[in-house]
């Protein structure tokens, strides 16, 4: 727990209270600063001569000699005249070893530590340390005395599970410095591991932990000073989900969104993406979702083995948990907390995936705060700056090359929960104008037990062209054109299917019926995946390519069936064979037998004779 002695004396007081918004006035001439963190001390009994509660708040707006602050906890009992401590710091997170395998709330309070001391009903106003203050870490220096260093340079490393956690010169440090002294051994995060000196003779003692304001991107200053470089995302994020990797790819370091109505499978989809994607670190931000879904993630991840073969999923995961039953104000901060942690590990050269569920709840928290501030509302009472706020969040994703030449990435996928599945509402529309991959979930497909319930006629990816060079090199120059051809087949099949709903099968020609059956076949055997089968749940890219080649060959074949019943029989049998093929392990005899049977059926099927 954080020591009360670390906080200064009160310098302001409460002059008005409105729900979780309070108005502050300085006691003396202490300036009130926007985005500064303050602590409210409610009237009440003390413990050991100290207040029992310190309510954390953030200054949102300064007007003349007063300021309005958003309180991150319940303001019950807060009244005019209560004292306020100004921290002099922005809303920040602690960056250091010990972040992985931890469940935090939206303000980086470790929930397990609080529960261990206070029980499962978390009290308000408790001061906590985000990282373990007593654990010792084996620090191995990577610099020596007299080495020049700047912000972001690596001082040394400590092992954090299977990862090498880099202890970096604080990102806030300016100018050129020289290492005066560096230590080696086992230390707590607050012990000095290095001392730096600048050209003016000033010294700075460094520990293994640093703090960074969550609303400011970590690499901004480093990019401007030339210490790291933003790169154009040019590789796909392999998720092992056929529908995403083949038809609607997301770039590594890119951004995508998964909007969908209640019950369409957002939680299952994002869980599998976080489990099987080719990344090093996963950060899950549960932003305002139901507690049951979060509990499922918290209990499953420590039990499930990491597909990479190293430990469990939780060993490489950080969970930011701010559910619908937790303070709304902290919900708005939770996404920024998760992104800052992602940027930190990206700066070490790791590939990071951030899943935000859901940005709709985050936007609703902004709407509540904006309403209390009496700001001019935009569409559906969301703040007028909603669009720029969403862009500001997603644009912190990207690929960076550090000064040491290592490349790290932060990929962000946000889920959106539009009321009634209405994709025209402001949050969805602002998100669509920002991201480059849109995976639109359909309640109709979910009711049919399709998984993933991503509608291929609604979804799109703007990364095909951007990633074309990678596909040409690693798969083949005809990959993207063939994928686009199959998307056109799905559209034509849907048009014929709509016509058949009006006229019946008799109203379409046999050739059109074949097209409709090909599109249905593609949908059933390639776009669908069994999340509960040990083999089909994850399809590596090589396996996807082999299956797609077979499906594409059948879709391109000019069959000449004798009537629609023959068409239906052929594609029904092929669908059954392909589903069994998806369940067959690579290299197994079952898979070889199924491949042989599929190819034999295609060879023996009647075809049009070329003129």
Query: Is the confidence at residue 3, as pLDDT, over 60?
Result: no
Per-position b or e across 540-576, b if 16+ CB within 10 A of its CB: ebebbbbbbebbbebbeeebebeebeebeebbeebbe
Sheet-wide strand order for 203-206: 148-149, 177-182, 194-198, 203-206
Q: What DSSP character marks residue 605?
A: S
- 314 CB-contact burial (10 Å; exposed 0-12 / middle 13-18 / buried 19+): buried
Mean pLDDT (the chain) is 91
Residue 585 φ/ψ, nearest 5 degrees: -70, 150
CATH superfamily of 242-461: P-loop containing nucleotide triphosphate hydrolases (3.40.50.300)
Sign, Cα dihedral of 479, 485, 486, 488: positive
Here the tokens at position 112 are 């397990």
Please say whether the beta carbons of 208 and 193 come within 8 A.
Answer: yes
Mean pLDDT computed over 357-366: 89
Mean pLDDT computed over 140-146: 96
340 band by pLDDT with thresholds 50, 70 and 90: very high
Taking the model in full, what pTM does it have?
0.94
CATH architecture assigned to 137-212? Beta Barrel (2.40)
Count of Cβ atoms closer than 10 Å to residue 508 Cβ: 18
Convert the pLDDT of each residue in 212-263 to its tens digit. Answer: 999 999 988 888 888 889 999 999 999 999 999 999 999 999 999 999 888 7
User: What's the pLDDT at 547?
Assistant: 96
CATH architecture assigned to 4-91? Beta Barrel (2.40)
CA distance 126 to 144: 41
Please say whether the beta carbons of 196 and 177 come within 8 A.
Answer: yes
> DSSP H helical segments within 415-455, as ranges?
426-432, 443-447
- 174 CB-contact burial (10 Å; exposed 0-12 / middle 13-18 / buried 19+): exposed
Which of 166-175, 306-315, 336-345, 475-484 comes out lowest in average pLDDT?
Answer: 306-315
Q: What DSSP character marks residue 376?
A: P
CA dihedral (128, 134, 136, 142) in degrees, to 10, reads: 50
Here the tokens at position 83 are 């004292």
Per the DSSP assignment, residues forming a β-bridge with 84 are: 12, 40
Convert the pLDDT of each residue in 593-602 to its tens digit. Answer: 999 999 999 9
CA distance 86 to 28: 12
Convert the pLDDT of each residue in 406-437 to its tens digit. Answer: 899 999 999 998 887 888 999 999 999 999 99
Query: What would the CATH number be for the domain defined by 479-604?
Result: 1.10.1140.10
User: What's the pLDDT at 321?
Assistant: 87
CA distance 292 to 385: 32
- 224 CB-contact burial (10 Å; exposed 0-12 / middle 13-18 / buried 19+): exposed
What beta strand segments (E) does 358-469 contain? 398-402, 407-416, 437-438, 460-461
User: What's the pLDDT at 287?
Assistant: 84
Number of H helices, E strands in the chain: 17, 28
User: What's the pLDDT at 470?
Assistant: 96
29 band by pLDDT with thresholds 50, 70 and 90: confident
Closest CA to 490 of 524, 462, 463: 524
Q: How many CA atoms lie within 13 A of 187 on its CB side?
A: 22
Output the known binding site.
260-267
Query: Is the confidence at residue 556, as pLDDT, over 60?
Result: yes
Output the known binding site for ATP.
260-267
pLDDT, greater one: 113 or 157: 157
Domain-by-domain residue ranges, the chain?
4-91, 137-212, 242-461, 479-604
Q: How many CA atoms lie within 13 A of 363 on its CB side?
A: 35
User: What's the pLDDT at 291?
Assistant: 61
Closest CA to 404 of 229, 189, 170, 248: 229
User: What's the pLDDT at 331?
Assistant: 83
User: What's the pLDDT at 611?
Assistant: 36
Residue 374 φ/ψ, nearest 5 degrees: 60, 40
pLDDT, greater one: 439 or 44: 439
């Amino acid at each position: 727990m954080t020591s009360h002695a670390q906080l200064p004396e009160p310098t302001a007081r409460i002059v008005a209270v409105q729900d979780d918004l309070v108005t502050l006035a300085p006691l003396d001439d202490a300036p009130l600063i926007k985005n500064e963190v303050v602590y409210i001390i409610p009237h009440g009994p003390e413990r050991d001569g100290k207040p029992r509660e310190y309510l954390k708040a953030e200054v949102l707006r300064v007007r003349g000699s007063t300021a309005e602050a958003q309180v991150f906890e319940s303001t019950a009992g807060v009244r005019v005249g209560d004292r306020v401590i100004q921290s002099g710091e922005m809303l920040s997170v602690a960056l250091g070893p010990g972040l992985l395998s931890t469940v935090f709330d939206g303000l980086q309070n470790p929930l397990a530590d609080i529960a261990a001391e206070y029980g499962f009903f978390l009290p308000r106003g408790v001061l906590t340390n985000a990282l373990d203050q007593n654990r010792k870490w084996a620090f191995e220096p990577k610099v020596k005395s007299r080495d020049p260093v700047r912000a972001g340079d690596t001082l040394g490393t400590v092992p954090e599970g299977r990862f090498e956690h880099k202890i970096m010169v604080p990102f806030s440090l300016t100018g050129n410095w020289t290492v005066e002294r560096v230590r080696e051994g086992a230390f707590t995060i607050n012990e000095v591991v290095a001392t730096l000196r600048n050209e003016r003779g000033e010294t700075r003692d460094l520990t293994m932990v640093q703090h960074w304001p969550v609303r400011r991107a970590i690499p901004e200053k480093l990019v401007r000073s030339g210490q790291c470089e933003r790169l154009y995302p040019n590789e796909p994020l392999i998720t092992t989900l056929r529908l995403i990797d083949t038809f609607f790819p997301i770039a590594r370091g890119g951004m995508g969104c998964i909007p969908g109505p209640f019950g369409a499978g957002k939680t299952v989809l994002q869980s599998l993406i976080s489990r099987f994607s080719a990344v090093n670190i996963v950060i899950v931000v549960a932003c305002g979702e139901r507690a049951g879904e979060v509990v499922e993630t918290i209990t499953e991840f420590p039990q499930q083995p990491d597909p990479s073969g190293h430990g469990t999923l939780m060993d490489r995961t950080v969970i930011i948990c701010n559910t619908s039953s937790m303070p709304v104000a902290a919900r708005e901060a939770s996404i920024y907390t998760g992104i800052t942690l992602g940027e930190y590990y990206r700066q070490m050269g790791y590939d990071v995936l951030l899943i935000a569920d859901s940005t709709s709840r985050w936007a609703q928290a902004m709407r509540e705060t904006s309403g209390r501030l009496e700001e001019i509302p935009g569409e559906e009472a969301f703040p007028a700056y909603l669009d720029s706020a969403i862009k500001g969040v997603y644009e912190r994703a990207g690929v960076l090359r550090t000064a040491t030449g290592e490349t790290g990435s932060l990929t962000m996928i946000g889920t959106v929960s539009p009321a009634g599945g209405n994709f025209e509402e402001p949050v969805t529309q602002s998100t669509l104008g920002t991201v480059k991959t849109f995976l639109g979930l359909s309640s109709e497909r979910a009711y049919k037990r399709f998984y993933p319930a991503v509608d291929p006629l609604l979804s799109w990816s703007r990364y095909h062209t951007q990633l074309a060079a990678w596909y040409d090199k690693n798969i083949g120059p005809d990959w993207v054109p063939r994928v686009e051809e199959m998307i056109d087949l799905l559209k034509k099949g849907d048009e014929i299917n709509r016509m058949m709903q009006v006229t019946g099968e008799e109203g379409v020609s046999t050739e059109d019926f074949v097209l409709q059956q090909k599109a249905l076949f593609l949908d059933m055997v390639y776009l669908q995946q069994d999340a509960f089968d040990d083999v089909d749940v994850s399809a590596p890219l090589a396996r996807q390519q082999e299956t797609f080649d077979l499906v594409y060959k059948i879709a391109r074949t000019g069959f000449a069936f004798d009537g629609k019943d023959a068409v239906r029989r052929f594609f029904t049998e092929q669908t059954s064979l392909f589903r069994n093929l998806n369940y067959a392990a690579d290299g197994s005899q079952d898979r070889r037998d199924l491949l042989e049977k599929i190819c034999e059926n295609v060879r023996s099927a009647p075809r049009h004779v070329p003129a």
